[in-house]
Amino acid sequence: MKIWRMRRNCALSPRQLLQFYLVLVCLSLTVGIGFFLVGVKMILVFTAIEITAVTVGFLIYCRHALDFEEIEISGTRLIVKKFIAYKETCFEFNTQWARVIPPLEHQKVFYIEQSEQRVELGQFLRPEPLRMLISELRPRLA
């Protein structure tokens, strides 16, 4: 059995992002409340806007931080799993009939297809590792 796993390249894990977010919110609220106490009430409005914008951005980041694509070959079974935005999809192919379609010029992804079924892969890889993956996959498919 051989497994290839391709992950999104994220600088922070969701846990690290949550810790950073809490520090940022505490710091912003401290500054906003400080200005409020000295009589500048408008700063709290801008603090609320800032925290809202940062929250939306971090939620979008977290939604995709754990995304991955996985290819597993076990005997004559080729299983492709895609986990994108907390939605997992699985595709199953027969290694005897499946084929790899390399990326076209200026494309970043390749395809594995068998009759009517086709799945797009490689969105998390740079061009060189993508070529290496394709060259490893091709001999394993008939």
**Could you give the CA distance from residue 123 to residue 26 in angstroms, rounded to a whole number?**
36
- The predicted-structure confidence for 82-140, as pLDDT tens digits, reads as follows 999 889 999 999 999 999 999 988 889 999 999 999 999 999 999 999 999 999 999 99
Question: What's the confidence (pLDDT) of residue 135?
Answer: 94
Question: What's the confidence (pLDDT) of residue 32?
Answer: 95
Contact 68, 121 (CB under 8 A): no
Contact 110, 131 (CB under 8 A): no
77 confidence band (pLDDT: 50, 70, 90): very high
pTM: 0.78
Mean pLDDT along residues 30-35: 96
Flag whether pLDDT at 61 surpasses 90.
no
Flag whether pLDDT at 142 surpasses 80.
no
28 confidence band (pLDDT: 50, 70, 90): very high
Mean pLDDT along residues 8-33: 92
Angle at 64 between CA 58 and CA 65, to 5 degrees: 80
Question: What's the confidence (pLDDT) of residue 105?
Answer: 84
Six-digit token string for 4: 């290839």
Question: What's the confidence (pLDDT) of residue 81?
Answer: 98
Flag whether pLDDT at 30 surpasses 80.
yes
